Structure 1
């Protein structure tokens, strides 16, 4: 009877003003499907079912997972705080049992129409908690008016605690992953800002060799933010561009179009495009004009 079973620590559904994070509810919903099945097997009862808080709600549990059910009248049922056995457990934060379900006076019979097709007589409901908040419910039910023994109670409560521990671990993993991703994005933004400052400073350096070295540093910062830097030293810019690429880039610097460059060097237009793509990749240039500017900064072009 109510009061016979151990209370979980803390208050009921009203504790704490903050809304429940959606990722926590999604994680709980993911855990409930296998938990409902294993609970029925371990406790050897006729029916188990359960659910979590409806998204955006603090006073309604939605039953989504069932095992051993005869029909679907309980599926997607919303159990509100204070109504029915589950609603009483939701409101008080205490596991409770009722026998002779339809005639008990201990609960508000708001869901009898949904419960009746399952022919339930004895029901035991356990709250699932996170910190001081009830976020879900688990039910065990028998179709006979039989007592729920202490062993079954202990198994059900321990099963619920395991869900709570798994829920806490899953949420913490997601929190730490999100924090890591946020920190990584923040670091990448900082490196990108530093690279922009460096590029501006390079334009004020007169020594071509110093400009070449600084440009290599800038290019490595770009590779770091793009995630493809292996830490290996990069060759000097003068060694990166082949003689043919320098020929192509020299004609680009005069304003020659791709067709003119192809005719001048005896190349196919597509080959000229391939050279330009290679030049841009090696110099870290955004376009052909930028490539000419970088090459001049490095002393490769007059």
Structure 2
């Protein structure tokens, strides 16, 4: 049977598979997302494949991936077709791909299993703890990536809903909302370069409100103090700020007190006004 490289069209999962192969040296990595009826649809492959895996749908609890979804933890076999710990509904597919030693790791975001990543050898040689751990780490990285994607989607939807009344509100208010949303989103970005780029956009937006450019005399607020103050500027309660930034209410109060002290402000709204005057907030 001829073998060929299969290119995937899902960036997050495919990148996870590519990184997994680079770290582990495994000849084949594949996986897919969970359907609404909790099935695993194999649609993403990195490495040489006969094509037998492409588009296969696995039942909940069946096979290696189905079991990983059911137990919500990694499952490893040294020889798939001889393993007594899994069902053998898909042996014909595994035999067609000539796979033997395999690991399947569920991708869990929040409390929901969103997908499964597999690593495989074409020999019945134990994968080893380092290889299995690398596949687990690839799944964890993917979980964070999907969580960020979900959060960005949620916030863009929020902005879209609120933009329905945009004609009734001043443009600077929309800018302030977008600024705050960007600051909150940046907290969830693992990529330091992308996070810095978002911060640079925030710095540009901060001068839109007409505040003077930042100078040496401008109070030096920390990133978190600005995050909290940006949320307060939109009228959010301490509880709302804490939930969105993923910190406690006491921590929110602490950052707010510190920002007020640096801005020589007697109230939270005076702190917002002063920060805008210094060009720290839009």
Give the 3-state SS of the residue equivalent to 2:159 in structure 1: helix
Check the 8 A contact 2:17/2:46 in 1, yes or no: yes
- Distance in 2, Cα, partners of 1:72 & 1:51: 15
TM-score (norm 2): 0.55
User: Which blocks of at least 5 consecutive residues in structure 1 are unaligned?
Assistant: 1-27, 192-230, 232-302
Asked if 1:40 is matched to 2:30, the reply is no
Q: Cα distance, 1:190 vs. partner?
A: 7.4
Q: Cα distance, 1:144 vs. partner?
A: 1.1
Give the 3-state SS of the residue equivalent to 2:43 in structure 1: strand
Give the 3-state SS of the residue equivalent to 1:69 in structure 2: strand
Asked if 1:134 is matched to 2:113, the reply is yes
- Distance in 1, Cα, partners of 2:90 & 2:118: 14
- 2:244 corresponding residue in structure 1: none
Q: Cα distance, 1:152 vs. partner?
A: 1.2
Summarize deviations over 1:31-78 as a string: whole Å, max 9, x none: 112221221121111210010023xx2321111111223311101111
- Distance in 1, Cα, partners of 2:20 & 2:95: 22
Check the 8 A contact 1:124/1:139 in 2, yes or no: yes
Asked if 1:89 is matched to 2:29, the reply is no
- 1:260 corresponding residue in structure 2: none
Check the 8 A contact 1:49/1:63 in 2, yes or no: yes
- Residue 76 of structure 1: which of 51, 55, 58 is its match? 55
- Distance in 1, Cα, partners of 2:97 & 2:133: 25
- Distance in 2, Cα, partners of 1:32 & 1:153: 17
* Count of residue pairs the alignment pairs up: 164
Give the 3-state SS of the residue equivalent to 1:127 in structure 2: strand
Summarize deviations over 1:200-247 as a string: whole Å, max 9, x none: xxxxxxxxxxxxxxxxxxxxxxxxxxxxxxx9xxxxxxxxxxxxxxxx
TM-score (norm 1): 0.51
- 1:290 corresponding residue in structure 2: none
- Distance in 1, Cα, partners of 2:114 & 2:10: 10
- Residue 31 of structure 1: which of 3, 12, 33 is its match? 12
Check the 8 A contact 2:13/2:44 in 1, yes or no: yes
Q: Which runs of 4+ in 1 moved over 3 A?
A: none
- Distance in 2, Cα, partners of 1:81 & 1:163: 21
- 1:51 corresponding residue in structure 2: 32
Check the 8 A contact 2:19/2:138 in 1, yes or no: no
- Distance in 1, Cα, partners of 2:91 & 2:132: 24
- 2:98 corresponding residue in structure 1: 119
- Distance in 2, Cα, partners of 1:162 & 1:190: 40
Summarize deviations over 1:179-212 as a string: whole Å, max 9, x none: 0121121343679xxxxxxxxxxxxxxxxxxxxx
- Distance in 2, Cα, partners of 1:130 & 1:58: 17
Change (3 A) 1:58 1:184: same
Q: What does residue range 165-244 of structure 1 map to in structure 2 within 5 Å?
A: 165-188=144-167
- Distance in 2, Cα, partners of 1:179 & 1:30: 24
